[in-house]
Amino acid sequence: MSHDGGRTQTGVDGIMAEGQATGADRESVVEANATAAATVADLVETTLGPHGRDKIVYRKPEKEEEGLDDYFQVTNSGAYILKKVPFESPAASMVARVAAAQDDRHGDGTTTATVYAGRMLEAAADLIDRGFHPRTVINGIDAAVPLAGDAIDEAAVPVDEDRIADLVHTTLGGTVTEPLADTLVAWLRDAAADGHLDPDAVRTESLRAGSLADSEFVDGLVLKKSFAGNYVPESLTDATIAMTTQAVTASQQVNDRIESEAGADAGTSQSLTIAAETADDLQRFTDRERELVEESVRPLVDAGVDVLLAANRVDEATVARLDRAGIAVVRNADEARLKALARATGGTLLPHLGAFDPDDAGSVGSITRREYPEVEQEVVFFRDLPGDLASVLLHGSTWMAGWEAKRNVNAAVASVASALETGQVVPGGGAAEMAIAQHLRDAAPGVGGRESMVIEAVADAVEAVPRLLARNAGMDPTDAILDLRTAHSRGERDAGVLGLERELGSALDAGVVEPAAFKRGSIHTAAGAATTILRIDDVISGIDVTVSESP
C-alpha cells in the first residue's frame, strides 16, 4: 500500500468485493485466452476443405411448420457454427464474433480466419511464456500483416472467364450437379461482362421436394408463394407488375386518408379510433372503406397491372377487388427478393400504394406457376426480365440438404463478385498460405529483434491451413508440408493440396482458386482478433468498484 496526496492506492484485489476474482497472474490470463481461442479453432478446423467433416448444431425451429429434424442442422459452415454455438469464455466469444464477421463482409473465409487466429494466439502464448512482452508480440503480428499482403499480391493472377468457372466449381465442391454448376457459370460470365457482379443478382431458394438432382437454374426470380384470391393465372406474358412493402388493407386506406385529410406529416403514424354509434355510422364507414379500396386499386387497373406483389399482408376486401379487375396478388413476399425484382424489371418497390404511378410498374416477359403437391407448395416464376436477376431452385428431401446447397451457391456467387471487385484470385489448396509463410520467413531477418521471431510464428500459424487440408484429405500432414515447402522453394508458387485427388500439385492447373480478397480479409481479421486479445491482461467481473480515500 502507498499514499499519494492523501489518496489511498491499493491493489485491485483490495477493492474487489469478496468472491469477485481478478486475474492477478497476467500470464495466466493470456494463456487462458489463447487456449480459449485455440479451442474455437479446434471446433471448426476439421470442416476445412473438400473433405472437411460436418458438425451437428442443435437449434430451435425458426418456423412452426418445421419438422422434428429441423431441431438440428448438419453443416460444415464455419460461419454458421460460430454464430450458433454459445461460448462461455469472453475470448472465445470474441474470436467467434470477429471471425464470423469475415463471412458477413466477404461471404466466406470464416474457418480460415478462425484457424489463423487460434494458431497465432497459441504461438503468442508460447512466446510470452518464454519471456516475450505482449507488446513485442503485438508489434510482430502487426508487422507480419503487410508482408502477408505482399505475398498475396505476388501469388495472385488476373480474373478471366476461365477463373470465374474455377471459382464456382472450387466453392461448390460438388454440392450441386455439374450441369447446374455449368449453367450458373455461364450466367455469371454474361452478367459480369462489364467486370462487375452484384451478388444480390443471384437468389437461392430451397424446396423440400425431390432430390438435389432435380435442382434447376432459373433466369429470373423464384418465389415460394401462391396467388391469393380466386384469380390464379397459370401463365402471363409481357406482364406488368406493381410492388409495395406496406400492408394493403381497407382499414389502412381509411387511416391513410384520414391522416392525409388531417394534415399529418408524411411518414408519421397516428393511432386512430373511429366510433360507430349507430348502424348508419357503420354503413357510412363501410361505404367509405369500399370507396377508398376502389381508389387504391383504380391506378393499378388504369396502368394495366397484371400482378401486385406485397411484402406484407393484403386483406380479403382488396384481394376480392383485384380479382374482379383481373390482377393477381402475391402477398407476404420476401422484401429482399422484391427489391431485386424491382431492380431487374425497372420498377419501384413502393412504401405504399398511394404513391403508385405508372412509371413505378415493372415489366416481366413471362410469369408462370407450378405446384408441388407432395409438399403442398406453389412456386411462382418470373422470367425474361430486362435486368440481370437469376435464381437457383435447390431441391432436397430434407430441409438440411437444400440449406447446405443453398449456402454453397451463395458462397460461390460471393466469391465471383469479390474476385471481380479486385480483379485477382490466388491459388487455393493452401498454396497461398505456403507462399505467405515462405515470404514471412524470408522477410523476418530483415525486421530484426524479437519481432522477427513473432513473424516466423505467424508463418507457422498461416501454414496450419495446408496442414489441415492435407490431414482432412487423409494425407500425412507433415510429409505434405515438407514437400510443399520444397516445391515453393523451387519457385512453384501455386503448389498446394489438391483435396479431391488427395495429392499435391499445381492449384492453378487444377482450377482450384480463391478470391485474393478472402485471403487478405482472413489475415486482417485474424491479426485483429489476436492483437485485441493479447492486449487483455485481466478479466474482471462487472461490479461497481469504489475506492475510498483516507481521512
The three-state (H, E, C) secondary structure of 195-223, written as one string: CCCCHHHEEEEEECCCCHHHCEEECEEEE
Position 430 pLDDT exceeds 90: yes
Could you tell me the pLDDT band of residue 499, with boundaries at 50, 70 and 90? confident
293/442 same-domain check? no
Residue 499: Cβ-neighbour burial (10 angstroms; 0-12, 13-18, 19+): buried
- Count CA atoms closer than 13 A to 200's CA, side-chain side: 11
Does residue 70 fall inside a structural domain? no
Position 285 pLDDT exceeds 80: no
Residue 463, domain CATH:
1.10.560.10
294/379 same-domain check? yes
Retrieve residue 235's grid coordinates. 401463365
Position 302 pLDDT exceeds 70: yes
* Residues 6 or more apart whose Cβ sits within 8 Å of residue 433: 462, 463, 465, 466
CA distances for 5 relative to 12, 15, 48, 545, 548, angstroms: 19, 19, 59, 21, 13
Does residue 228 fall inside a structural domain? yes
Backbone angles phi, psi at 8, to 5 degrees: -80, 125
Position 108 pLDDT exceeds 80: no
The amino acid that residue 455 corresponds to is I
For β-strands 377-383 and 220-223, DSSP reports them as antiparallel
Position 424 pLDDT exceeds 60: yes
378/436 same-domain check? no
* Residues 6 or more apart whose Cβ sits within 8 Å of residue 472: 46, 48, 49, 51, 52, 53, 499
* pLDDT computed for residue 50 by the predictor: 86
Does residue 417 fall inside a structural domain? no
| HEC secondary structure over 460-514 | HHHCHHHHHHHHHCCCCHHHHHHHHHHHHHCCCCCEEEECCCCEEEEHHHHCCEE
Q: Comparing C-alpha atoms, which of 317, 381, 382 is closest to residue 345?
A: 382
355/457 same-domain check? no
Among residues 365, 384, 403, which one ends one of the domains? 384
Task: State which residues form the domain around 123.
Answer: 25-52+90-158+427-534
What's the rounded Cα separation, in Å, for the pair 454 and 127? 8
Point out the least confidently predicted range of 244-253, 260-269, 270-279, 350-359: 260-269
Are 175 and 166 in contact by the 8 Å Cβ rule? The answer is no
The structure's pTM equals 0.80
436/513 same-domain check? yes
* pLDDT computed for residue 262 by the predictor: 52
Does residue 551 fall inside a structural domain? no
Q: What is the mean pLDDT of residues 69-80?
A: 76
365/432 same-domain check? no
* pLDDT computed for residue 20 by the predictor: 46
The maximal CA–CA distance of the chain, rounded, in angstroms, is 94
Residue 324, domain CATH:
3.50.7.10
* pLDDT computed for residue 467 by the predictor: 97
379/432 same-domain check? no
Q: What is the mean pLDDT of residues 361-380?
A: 92
Does residue 94 fall inside a structural domain? yes
Q: Concatenated DSSP letters for 251-300? A: HHHHHHHHHHHTTPPTT----------SHHHHHHHHHHHHHHHHHHHHHH
Does residue 146 fall inside a structural domain? yes
296/149 same-domain check? no
Does residue 477 fall inside a structural domain? yes
Retrieve residue 105's grid coordinates. 463482409
234/352 same-domain check? yes
Are 437 and 537 in contact by the 8 Å Cβ rule? The answer is no
- Count CA atoms closer than 13 A to 512's CA, side-chain side: 24
The region, left, alpha or beta by phi > 0 then psi within -120 to 50, assigned to residue 139 is: alpha
Could you tell me the pLDDT band of residue 284, with boundaries at 50, 70 and 90? low
Q: What is the mean pLDDT of residues 223-245?
A: 94
Are 227 and 379 in contact by the 8 Å Cβ rule? The answer is no
What's the rounded Cα separation, in Å, for the pair 391 and 350? 23
Point out the least confidently predicted range of 141-145, 149-153, 177-181: 177-181
Mean pLDDT of the chain: 84
340/433 same-domain check? no
Backbone angles phi, psi at 189, to 5 degrees: -60, -45
* pLDDT computed for residue 193 by the predictor: 84
Does residue 258 fall inside a structural domain? yes
- Structural domain count of the chain: 2
The region, left, alpha or beta by phi > 0 then psi within -120 to 50, assigned to residue 327 is: beta
Q: What is the mean pLDDT of residues 107-113?
A: 83
234/125 same-domain check? no
Could you tell me the pLDDT band of residue 57, with boundaries at 50, 70 and 90? confident
CA distances for 34 relative to 28, 462, 542, angstroms: 10, 16, 22
- Percentage of the chain with pLDDT > 90? 53
Point out the least confidently predicted range of 161-165, 261-265, 339-343, 476-480: 261-265
234/292 same-domain check? yes
